[in-house]
Chain A
Amino acid sequence: MYKLINTTFGNQIVVRTNDNAYIPMDEANTDYQAYLKFLADGGTPLPADEGAA
């Protein structure tokens, strides 16, 4: 499962919740590629909390 995080710099980062890994939105990052596949397969990440991490 994934969760979105708002950062202090105004951007978003994806968190893989099973190991709390922070995945940048870089399309060459293989973890982000796996996240994009999760979305393409119909997955929905947990929404970001209000405020910044």
Chain B
Amino acid sequence: MAYGLINADQIGTSVANTSLGAGNASLMKNRIINGAMVIDQRNAGASVTPTATNTYTLDRWQAQLSVSSKYSVQQNAGSVTPPAGFTNYLGVTSLAATSVGSTDYYAIRQQIEGFNIADLGWGTANAKTVTLSFQVYSSLTGTFGGYLNNASDAYAYPFTYSISVANTWTSISITIAGPTSGTWNTTSGQGIKVGFGLGVGSTYSGTAGSWSANNYLSATGATSVVGTNGATFYITGVQLEVGSSATGFEYRQYGQELALCQRYAYIPNSSGNVYTTFAVGYVYNSTLGLATITFPVTMRVTPTFASSGNFQINAGSSTLNSSALSLNQGSPYTAVIGATISGGTTGYGASLSAQNTSSALLTFSAEL
């Protein structure tokens, strides 16, 4: 099949005569979502100390850990000046001098949906080369590690990179030949996992620079961030693109990046209006109101639902406090929320809103 040619101007570089479909086309070249760390629906810039592995922090970014509460994660932690061209970063702070045992692991990672890497041909003879680039800043210096892995954690590529000057943003670029083996999901499941080690034991550390059928989360001998109390590790501008060299970071409009994140997590809240209306519906009976919420984008799967804060059902001229919310029916497009009430009039039209609070929020999670 013949491809057309384009000339594309990019931030900081220019690409000419790039073959469409062959990599490094300028639109949506970055397979990482929220690589500039702009979106933080869950914590809105507040610090979080993960207590369970795979906890989501900034949108799309997970904390991996074998022992809880050894590091915190915060958008723009420490308030250092981000690198040129960026306004946000993901900041990790070590909360103790943690000894990393052979089976311990601490890392930050993003799981890329299979649909978004299907063109790479990984696991075939036509596997495409990719380049991972990012900006990193740490209170520590030395050789750091990270990894790419498949959905089943059975085929991994550990990599290393060097930070030679502490507390200074450093640009990193790592080119990785696509794997011709391994199983790589190309639909709505986990496609590629991209992670940055913060301290990984020998069981999950391997030789940098080659693919192997192992579950590796870092490279052997890499610096442990969690090993030093108060150590910091900041990262932004994460980009994974097809090709053998890094091109300028793909800046997306805020709304576009938010929509990409909302395929995996949609978290409306009442921070802007203490009576924010979240959904509309009707009074099912005297003890239950039902309200349907339509998601702004199609979610990856039918999402898990949770809520926090105080809510009310507005029905007719009545305002009925809700003591609990539940999920009554879901799909990737909509959800029907049940609100436990008392004194409802069956059949009345109703809306579900925050109850005079700025801290009400609904969480719909369809994460990988």
Q: A1 near B: Cβ within 8 Å?
A: no
A15→B202 CA distance, assembly (Å) = 37
Please pick, from B301, B306, B329, the residue contacting A9 in the complex, using a CB distance under 8 A. B329
Are B306 and A22 in contact, CB atoms less than 8 angstroms apart?
yes
Interface size on A, residues (CB 8 A): 20
Bound CA–CA A20/B365 (angstroms): 13
A46: CB under 8 A from chain B? no
Give the residues in chain B near A29, CB-CB below 8 Å.
301-304, 366
- Contacts known (A8-B284, A8-B288, A26-B301); A53 close to B328, Cβ less than 8 A: yes
A24 near B328: Cβ-Cβ < 8 Å:
no
Q: Is B161 interfacial (CB-CB < 8 Å)?
A: no
Within 8 Å by CB of A11, from B301, B329, B366, lies B329
Instruction: Give the residues from 1 to 53 in chain A that come closer than 8 angstroms, CB to CB, to chain B.
Output: 5, 7-9, 11, 13, 19-24, 26, 28-32, 52-53
- Asked whether A13 and B367 contact (CB < 8 A) given A24-B303, A28-B189, the answer is no
Given contacts A7-B338, A13-B327, A53-B338, contact A21 B366 (CB under 8 A): no
A-B contact count (CB 8 A): 59
Quick check: A24 and B306 within 8 Å, CB to CB?
no
A31 with B304: in contact, given A8-B284, A8-B328, A22-B327 (CB under 8 Å)?
A: yes
Q: Which residues of chain B are within 8 angstroms of A32 by Cβ–Cβ distance?
A: 304
Which B residues are CB-close (under 8 A) to A26? 301-302, 330
Given contacts A8-B284, A22-B306, contact A28 B188 (CB under 8 A): yes
Q: Do B288 and A19 have beta carbons less than 8 Å apart? A: no
CB of B42, distance to nearest CB on chain A (Å) = 13
Least Cβ–Cβ distance between A49 and chain B, in angstroms:
12
In the assembled complex, B86 has its CB within 8 A of some CB on chain A? no
> Is B260 interfacial (CB 8 A cutoff)?
no
Does any Cβ of A come within 8 Å of B174's Cβ? no
> How far apart are the CA atoms of A9 and B189 in the complex, in Å?
28
**Set of chain B residues within 8 Å of A31, measured between Cβ atoms:** 304, 365
CB <8 Å contact, A23 and B338:
no
Q: If the complex has contacts A19-B306, A20-B306, are A9 and B328 also in contact, measured as CB distance less than 8 A?
A: yes
Q: Which chain B residues in 50-75 approach chain A with CB under 8 Å?
A: none
Please, what's the 1-or-0 string for B302-335, where 1 marks a CB less than 8 Å from any CB in chain A? Answer: 1111100000000000000000001111100000
Query: With A7-B338, A9-B329 known to touch, is A30 a contact of B368 (CB < 8 Å)?
Result: yes
Cβ contact of A8, chosen from B189, B290, B366, cutoff 8 A:
B290
Q: Which residues of chain A have C-beta atoms less than 8 A from B329's C-beta?
A: 7, 9, 11
Residues of B within 8 A of A5 (CB): 326
A20 to B340, CA, bound (A): 14
User: How distant is A4 from chain B, measured CB to nearest CB, in Å?
Assistant: 12
Bound-state Cα–Cα, A24 to B335, Å: 10
Q: Are B288 and A22 in contact (CB under 8 A)?
A: no
Are A22 and B326 in touch, CB under 8 angstroms?
yes
B284 touches A21 (CB 8 A): no
Q: Give Cα A52 to B287, complex, Å.
A: 11
A38 to B252, CA, bound (A): 40
- Mark interface residues in B176-190 (1 if CB within 8 Å of A CB, else 0): 000000000000110
Contacts beyond the supplied A13-B327, A30-B368: 6 A-B pairs with Cβ under 8 Å = A21-B306, A22-B305, A26-B330, A28-B300, A29-B302, A30-B367
12 contacts between A and B (CB under 8 A): A5-B326, A7-B329, A7-B338, A13-B326, A13-B327, A22-B304, A26-B301, A26-B302, A28-B302, A29-B302, A53-B326, A53-B338
B-side residues, CB < 8 A to A, are 188-189, 284, 288, 290, 300-306, 326-330, 336, 338, 363, 365-368
Question: What residues of chain A have their CB less than 8 Å away from a CB belonging to chain B?
Answer: 5, 7-9, 11, 13, 19-24, 26, 28-32, 52-53
